[in-house]
Amino acid sequence: MRLLLIPILFCCSCASVYIPNSRNMPIIDHGGEVTASLKGGSTGFEGQLAFSPIDRFGIIADGLYKNSSTSETDEDYQKHEYLGFGAGYYEPISHWGVFEIYGGYGKGEGSAQDDYVFFTNNTEYATGKYRRYFAQPGFALKKEHIELGFCYRISRVEFYEFEDSNIQDIEISNTIMEPAFVFRAGGKNIKMDSQVGFNIPMHETEFEFPVFTLSVGVMLRLDFSKKSLSKNSGDTEAPEKFPRP
């Protein structure tokens, strides 16, 4: 019976104490690449960084901030903060594809309240602090002006402090499947960065979160590899001189 109530709660109330941030999918394919992005959307405001110090190894970091109100009296609100980091391995495939897998850790804090009508007036609220461990494999097509990617993040979310309208001061956890599609288009260094994500719990959940997320922003990609710096500086090998007959 409780499982049947979950879809109703998602439709009728939005006291989401956990907000899955956008997946940090850098699509880096060689050492020396750096990416930085700023996004906004249903997740709030987000910043993401990624850097590959050497070939096939990448470092990622991301943060999220949301503070929204849907009424003049501030009776409906959603607040969330998150900061995480990770590292991973990537493998270029031919001249157009990249396989990558990243894992990491982060901490967040959220609170929300939602007033809704379901036969009678109801108020749902929740607040908590959590830690999250994640693994994120993905595959992407990468060209100079367009990037298409799909990743499948698996997140273990553990609330070490939690309470809501029905539960007080407990520890709860769940494993959430968080696949996402990434689309980027634009210039060589600056592109529009958009993402659509879905969030599916592995088992019955006692805390709420959105089942769908959307974000749009801008990504900056820079290349500090030796090959790129040499090309930009205009260095060329001196022509070989042959003695005249």
C-alpha span between 18 and 224 (Å, rounded) = 36
Confidence check: pLDDT of 191 > 80: yes
**162 has a pLDDT exceeding 50:** yes
pLDDT for the residue numbered 240:
42
pLDDT at 123 > cutoff 80: no
Convert the pLDDT of each residue in 25-73 to its tens digit: 999 999 999 999 999 999 999 999 999 999 999 999 999 999 987 655 5
- Is residue 111 within 8 A of residue 127, CB to CB? The reply is yes
Question: Comparing 175 with 234, which gets the higher pLDDT?
Answer: 175
Give the pLDDT confidence score for residue 91 in this predicted structure.
97
- 227 pLDDT above the threshold of 70: no
27: Cβ–Cβ under 8 A, 6 or more apart, which residues?
Answer: 35, 98, 100, 140, 142, 147, 149, 182
Average pLDDT over residues 184-200: 97
Give the closest residue to 19 by CA, choosing from 71, 64, 70. 64
Q: What local confidence, expressed as pLDDT, does residue 96 receive?
A: 92
Instruction: Lowest mean pLDDT of 7-11, 27-31, 119-123, name the range.
Output: 7-11
Instruction: Determine the pLDDT at residue 234.
Output: 53
The pair of three-digit structure tokens given for residue 16, joined into one six-digit string = 């989401």
Neighbouring-strand partners of residue 139: 99, 150
pLDDT of residue 114: 76
Q: How far apart are CA 233 and CA 125, in angstroms?
A: 58
Q: What would the mean pLDDT of 95-99 be, rounded to a whole number?
A: 94
Is 164's pLDDT higher than 60?
yes
Q: How far is CA 86 from CA 6, 49, 56, 151, in A?
A: 32, 11, 14, 15
Nearest Cα neighbor of 232 from 4, 32, 24 is 32
Decide which of 237 and 76 is more confident. Answer: 76
Query: Is the predicted pLDDT of residue 225 greater than 70, yes or no?
Result: yes
> In terms of pTM, does the model score above 0.85?
no
- What the chain holds in terms of domains, given with CATH numbers, is 15-222 (2.40.128.90)
Question: How far is Cα 92 from Cα 30, in angstroms, rounded to an integer?
Answer: 8
Output the DSSP codes for the chain.
-HHHHHHHHHHH---BS--PPPP------STTEEEEEEEEETTEEEEEEEEEEETTEEEEEEEEEEEEESSTT--SEEEEEEEEEEEEEEEEETTTEEEEEEEEEEEEEEEEEEEEEESEEEEEEEEEEEEEEEEEEEEEEE-SSEEEEEEEEEEEEEEEEEEESS--S--EEEEEEEEEEEEEEESSSEEEEEEEEE-EESS--SSB--SEEEEEEEEEEEE--HHHHHHHHT--PPPPP----
Average pLDDT, the chain: 85
What percentage of the chain exceeds 90 in pLDDT? 68
Three-point CA angle 35, 36, 40, nearest 5°: 135
